[in-house]
Amino acid sequence: MLKEFDLHKFSNGLRLVTIPMEHTKTVTVLVMVGTGSRYETKEINGISHFLEHMMFKGTEKRPGALDISHELDSIGAEYNAFTSKEYTGYYAKAGAEHFGFVMDVISDIFLNSKLDGEEIEKERGVVIQEINMNFDNPMRHIGDVYEELMYGDQPLGWDIAGPKENILNIKAEKFREYFNSHYFAKNTVVAVAGKVGLEEAKAAVEKYFSNIRERQEVFKPLPVFIRQDKPGVKIIHKATDQSHMLVGVRGYDVFHPKKEVLKIMSVILGGGMSSRLFTEVREKRGLAYYVGSSTDSYLDTGDFSTFAGVENTKIHSAVEVILGEYAKIRNEKVSDQELQKAKDYIKGKMAISFESSDDLASFYAGQELMEGKIATPEEKFEKLNRVTVEDVYAAANDIFKPEKLNMALIGPFKEEDPSIYNIVKL
């Protein structure tokens, strides 16, 4: 029987998580590093994401972007990268027979990117276009507006992509400086998931990551500063045919013992087409096309939010219904049946995702990088099973308070529209 996962720590601090999968024909190599926009200063806000772009622009072994993409495309690989506020990742997924080749390419990108000055100049325009695309898509941009409202002028409140002025003006030498000070062994987790053996994965990492930079000091982000004593509202005026909003409350950080309770609550309120909010907002009243809830956790803070796309003339009614459901779950205990359904929903979604090597790699690497410990899917399921009706009731009464409430809105409304401010209350 295969081990569920294996964690190996090398002497230089690099960590390898191997997740053997017996019944798959693929393998995923994911490299995650503990840095993101939260680790930036205001002057270089956006550099983490910009640097992610530059890591695909050439190494000594693969001089240009086409050399990298051609090699990965030639084996039908799926590959990409992502930047968040607290971590950055690079991955490729391919047939298991190409494991060594995939490890070679991903390690080369991660360790040996040239960060060429001419390529940086060319990529500035690409990043600017990505920022423009995000601004032009209110359904995506609303999340940035919401977090700016939640956290204000501090790293957690800044856009991951950064302001355009920074993208146009960050000097080439800053990329190398940031790269050297954040991309190193002790700050990195490699995850290998799929049809691969433990010793095979370990030997490959030893071979391909042998020259990874070493550094003892791991940067920690500045603690988040939160001061709020009443509901907050932020309105972005835009001539849209549909209003997009995020309304939510401050929640729990990644280490909080009750964070699973909020996941269950998000399913009860807004997970799936039979959830309370989908039923009340869309099915019964026809107020929105999309509506749902989610919970996010950072190292020292978190949130619980509901997102919706609403007809402009019905925004007030939609907000009232959403906040009414918040009040209801705070004032009335959920039933045992509804609680069990939410648990089974989460476990079912997790089980489906764990059939993919890339999802498993992310699941394990993310825990090790962010929390310094790993819970298996079965251990996660057991934590969910232990959540009680009383736990949900207590958490709802803890988070659904006026002084924790915030709403971001993009639509054809004035920035100080009193009719919007007046309905945001619990």
* Confidence class for position 290, pLDDT limits 50, 70, 90: very high
Distance CA 275, CA 266 (A): 9
Residue 198 belongs to a domain:
yes
Residue 320 belongs to a domain:
yes
Tell me what the pLDDT averaged over the chain comes to.
Answer: 96
pLDDT digits (tens, 9 = 90+) for 78-88: 999 999 999 99
* Confidence class for position 415, pLDDT limits 50, 70, 90: confident
Residue 223 belongs to a domain:
no
Give the pLDDT score at 218.
87
Burial of 315 per CB tally in 10 Å (0-12, 13-18, 19+)? buried
Asked which of 193, 208, 223 is the last residue of a domain, the reply is: 208
Residue 415 belongs to a domain:
yes
Distance CA 337, CA 268 (A): 11
Do 216 and 43 meet the contact criterion of CB atoms below 8 Å apart? no
Residues 61 and 142 in one domain: yes
Residues 245 and 129 in one domain: no
Residues 258 and 190 in one domain: no
The residues facing 307 across adjacent strands are 246, 292
Residue type, 383: K
Residue 303 belongs to a domain:
yes
CA–CA distances in Å: residue 404 to residues 141, 210, 211, 391? 22, 48, 47, 19
Q: Beta strands of 184-287 (E only): which ranges? A: 188-194, 232-237, 242-250
Residues 310 and 202 in one domain: no
Bigger pLDDT: 88 vs 22: 88
Residues 256 and 378 in one domain: yes
Residues 404 and 263 in one domain: yes
Give the pLDDT score at 265.
98
Share of the chain above pLDDT 70, in %: 99
Give the pLDDT score at 1.
41
User: Mean pLDDT throughout 103-119?
Assistant: 97
Give the pLDDT score at 308.
98
Read off the CATH number of the domain in which 411 is found: 3.30.830.10
pLDDT digits (tens, 9 = 90+) for 375-401: 999 999 999 999 999 999 999 999 999
Residues 197 and 236 in one domain: no
Query: How many folded domains does the chain comprise?
Result: 2
Asked which of 208, 240, 257 is the last residue of a domain, the reply is: 208
Containing structural domain, residue 360: 232-423
Whether pTM > 0.85 for this model: the answer is yes
Residues 53 and 192 in one domain: yes
> Residue 2 pLDDT > 70, yes or no?
no
* Confidence class for position 197, pLDDT limits 50, 70, 90: very high
Give the pLDDT score at 390.
98
Residues 202 and 244 in one domain: no
DSSP class per residue in 274-304: TSHHIIIIIITT--EEEEEEEEEE-SS-EEE
Residues 245 and 390 in one domain: yes
Residue 160 belongs to a domain:
yes
Provide the terminal-to-terminal Cα distance of the chain, rounded to the nearest Å: 52
Give the pLDDT score at 3.
66
Residue 101 belongs to a domain:
yes
Residue 222 belongs to a domain:
no
User: Mean pLDDT throughout 321-326?
Assistant: 98
Asked which of 208, 223, 251 is the last residue of a domain, the reply is: 208
pLDDT digits (tens, 9 = 90+) for 124-173: 999 999 999 999 999 999 999 999 999 999 999 999 999 999 999 999 99
From the list 40, 52, 280, 338, the catalytic residue is: 52
Residues 148 and 276 in one domain: no
Give the pLDDT score at 219.
86
* Confidence class for position 426, pLDDT limits 50, 70, 90: confident
Residues 174 and 256 in one domain: no
Give the pLDDT score at 321.
97
> What is the Cα gyration radius of the chain?
23
Per the annotation, the verdict on 260 as an active-site residue is no
Element (H, E) at 322: helix 315-331
pLDDT digits (tens, 9 = 90+) for 345-379: 999 999 999 999 999 999 999 999 999 999 999 99
